[in-house]
């Protein structure tokens, strides 16, 4: 059977450009569908660099101006892997050009931009998705299944952390490849939009709407040299962010993120405590889901560590990979996301997180930063 091509135009070739390209190359082998992903064009401003990237990953062509990429008739889906300040402009133009869009997170710099992006894709009726990829780590997807089956009962608490330590050095500049994260003009915010956005997406997916928040942020290093201007400039991002909140289901939220937790590289953890059971997950041990089930017999009741690698169909995605007991990695969450996007196209039921889903996370981020500024509780806009 001849497959329908899904011709990708990738914008950006950094960390995510590589993670997504890897997923596009893997997906057809492990998740066969009626579509065949074609690496049609890669785009970035530096011609030599994007040529090198295109050759390495097997893209058929290059562009150095994303507007030219959007003009091309041979591109079906645009993948936005640029810093956050470019997401809106590219996504709105891509929607107007009738392209499907896969956009990196956070959706936008703020919810005003996010709302414009939602309006554009919904007006153009183009399939869209945002790369909140942690939903598709099998242990996290299993947590969703267990919660939806009612195994936790009434939920009391949801707590999450995302801890790193790579910006402690005050000599680290802001601006440029990777380091744009320290520049508020490119990133919008600091650890809140970069790291907590992931925790919030997972939390809302697992536990429903977050209604109110009370937040505190800190910028430990106030000035850094800017890589692009060469001048020492004020740092406008949050280096650390802690917030509490209340979910619509009555449970309490407790979140923390920082890039100043010496010793932690990417410690994303969450725990959810219900009346009947609790679940816990840790990115450093990503194939395991911890569960405490109160209905277990008393003398053997305790936390159990579920190795989410069974291929019998009970552990999400794992029937497509190896034999039971063999773990898969971080990279596979992106492969799963592409597989689900294609499945959404073929079934006619869009798979989340869509731009609209991601707007909810953006509204929570806005409420958090507003709360931190005003030093008071803020209701999340709906
Ligand atoms: N889903 C995740 O887990 C995850 C992880 C990391 C980053 N991200 C998100 O992915 C996006 C990119 O982050 P990254 O870590 O890959 O950054 P990066 O600095 O490694 O790469 C950014 C790329 O954007 C390109 N770029 C910048 N301006 C451009 C322009 N005008 N036209 C074309 N290309 C341009 C750069 O050349 C570079 O290749 C961000 O939105 C970030 O928040 C998501």
Same domain, 239 and 286: yes
CB 84 within 8 A of CB 105: no
Atom index in ligand 1 nearest the CA of residue 18 equals 16
Per-residue confidence band for 277, with pLDDT thresholds at 50, 70 and 90: very high
- Looking at 133, 163, 188, the residue that finishes a domain is 133
State which of 10, 11, 15 you would mutate to test the pocket of ligand 1, scoring each by most atoms of that ligand within 8 A of its C-beta.
15
1 pLDDT higher than 80: no
Query: Final residue of a domain: which of 107, 133, 159?
Result: 133
CATH classification of the domain holding 278 = 3.30.360.10
Atom of ligand 1 nearest to the CA of 131: 1
Same domain membership, residue 226 and residue 305: yes
Q: How far is the CA of 297 from the centre of ligand 1 (A)?
A: 50
Tell me: pLDDT of 271 over 90: yes
Q: Do residues 229 and 316 share a domain? A: yes
The answer on 86 and 27 residing in a single domain is yes
CA of 90 to the centre of ligand 1 (A): 13
Angle made by CA atoms 235, 240, 245, in degrees to the nearest 5: 130
Q: Per residue, what are the HEC states of the chain? A: CCCEEEEEEEECCCHHHHHHHHHHHHHHHHCCCCEEEEEEEEECCCHHHHHHHHHHHCCCEEECCHHHHHHCCCCCEEEECCCHHHHHHHHHHHHHCCCEEEECCCCCCCHHHHHHHHHHHHHHCCCEEECCHHHHCHHHHHHHHHHHCCCCCCEEEEEEEEECCCCCCCCCCECCCCHHHHCHHHHCCCHHHHHHHHHHHHHHHHHCCEEEEEEEEECCCCEEEECCCCCEEECCCCCEEEEEEEECCCCEEEEEEECCCCCCCCEEEEEEEECCEEEEEEHHHCCEEEEEECCCCHHHCCEEEEECCCCCCCCCCHHHCCCCCCCCCCHHHHHHHHHHHHHHHHHCCCCCCCHHHHHHHHHHHHHHHHHHHHCCCEECCC
User: Do 152 and 216 fall within a single domain?
Assistant: yes
Mutate to test the pocket of ligand 1, among 10, 12, 53, 196 (most ligand atoms within 8 A of CB): 12
Q: Residue 116 Cα, ligand 1 centroid: separation in angstroms? A: 21
Quick one: 213 and 72 in the same domain? no
269 with 183, same domain: the answer is yes
> Sheet holding 267-274: strands in order across?
303-307, 288-293, 277-282, 267-274, 155-163, 252-258, 240-247, 210-218, 378-379
Residue 97 sits in a domain of what CATH number?
Answer: 3.40.50.720
CA distance linking residue 306 with residue 299, whole number of Å: 19
Q: Count other C-beta atoms under 10 Å from residue 313's C-beta.
A: 8
- pLDDT at res. 382: 85
Query: What confidence score (pLDDT) does residue 239 get?
Result: 98
* Of 103, 133, 163, the domain-final residue: 133
Which residue in the block uniquely carries the two structure tokens 């070739």? 13
- Give me the mean pLDDT over the 25-51 stretch: 98
User: CA 346 to CA 336: how far, in whole Å?
Assistant: 15
Residue 178 Cα to ligand 1 midpoint, Å, equals: 7
- Atom 27 in ligand 1: residue holding the nearest Cα: 82
Considering the domain architecture, whether residues 265 and 282 belong to the same structural domain is answered as: yes
**CA 235 to centroid of ligand 1, rounded, Å:** 20
Average confidence score pLDDT of the chain: 97
Same domain? For 120 and 166 the reply is: no
Mean pLDDT to the nearest integer, 111-124: 98
pLDDT greater than 80 at residue 99: yes
The answer to whether residues 115 and 257 belong to one domain is no
Phi, then psi, of 320 in degrees rounded to 5: -90, -10
Over pLDDT 70: what percentage of the chain? 100
Give the model confidence (pLDDT) of 301-340 as tens digits.
Answer: 999 999 999 988 899 999 999 999 999 999 999 999 999 9
Report the share of the chain in percent with pLDDT over 90.
97
Parent domain of 8: 4-133
Residues 68, 227, 266, 211, CA torsion sign = negative
Take atom 28 of ligand 1 and give the residue whose Cα is closest: 82
Tally of domains in the chain: 2
Note whether 115 and 246 are same-domain residues: no
Question: Which residues contact ligand 1 via a Cβ below 6 A?
Answer: 11-17, 43-45, 66, 81-84, 86, 104-105, 131, 133, 177-178, 180, 194
165 alpha carbon to ligand 1 midpoint, in Å? 20
Q: Residues 213, 240: one domain?
A: yes
Answer whether 95's CB lies under 8 Å from 126's CB. yes
| Mean predicted confidence (pLDDT) in 240-259 | 98
pLDDT score recorded for residue 149: 98
């Amino acid at each position: 059977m001849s497959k329908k091509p899904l011709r990708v135009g990738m914008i950006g070739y950094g960390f995510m450009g590589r993670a997504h390209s890897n997923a596009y190359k893997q997906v057809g082998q492990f998740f066969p569908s009626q579509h065949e992903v074609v690496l049609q064009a890669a785009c970035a401003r530096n011609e030599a660099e994007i040529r090198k990237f295109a050759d390495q990953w097997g893209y058929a062509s290059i562009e150095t101006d994303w507007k030219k990429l959007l003009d091309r008739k041979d591109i079906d889906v645009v993948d936005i892997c640029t810093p956050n300040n470019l997401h809106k402009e590219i996504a709105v133009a891509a929607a107007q050009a009738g392209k499907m869009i896969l956009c990196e997170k956070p959706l936008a710099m703020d919810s005003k931009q996010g709302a414009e992006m939602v309006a554009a894709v919904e007006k153009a009726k183009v399939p869209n998705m945002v790369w909140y990829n942690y939903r598709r780590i099998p242990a996290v997807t299993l947590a969703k299944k267990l919660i939806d089956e009612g195994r936790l009962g009434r939920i009391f608490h949801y707590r999450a952390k995302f801890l790193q330590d790579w910006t402690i050095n005050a000599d680290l500049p802001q601006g440029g490849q990777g380091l744009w994260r320290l520049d508020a003009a490119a990133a919008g915010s600091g650890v809140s939009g970069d790291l907590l956005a992931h925790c919030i997406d997972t939390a809302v997916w697992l536990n429903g709407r977050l209604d109110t928040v009370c937040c505190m942020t800190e910028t430990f290093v106030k000035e850094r040299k800017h890589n692009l201007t060469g001048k020492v400039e004020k740092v406008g991002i949050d280096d650390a962010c802690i917030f509490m909140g209340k979910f619509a289901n009555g449970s309490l939220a407790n979140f923390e993120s920082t890039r100043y937790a010496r010793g932690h590289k990417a410690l994303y953890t969450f725990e959810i405590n219900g009346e009947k059971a609790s679940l816990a997950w840790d990115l450093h041990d990503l194939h395991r889901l911890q569960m405490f089930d109160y209905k277990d017999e008393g003398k053997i009741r305790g936390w159990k560590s579920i190795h989410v690698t069974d291929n019998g169909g009970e552990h999400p995605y794992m029937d497509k990979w190896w034999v039971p007991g063999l773990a898969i990695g971080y990279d596979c969450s992106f492969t799963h996301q592409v597989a689900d996007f294609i499945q959404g196209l073929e079934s006619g039921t869009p798979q989340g997180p869509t731009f609209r889903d991601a707007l909810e996370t953006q509204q929570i981020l806005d409420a958090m930063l507003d709360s931190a500024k005003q030093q008071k509780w803020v209701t999340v806009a709906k």
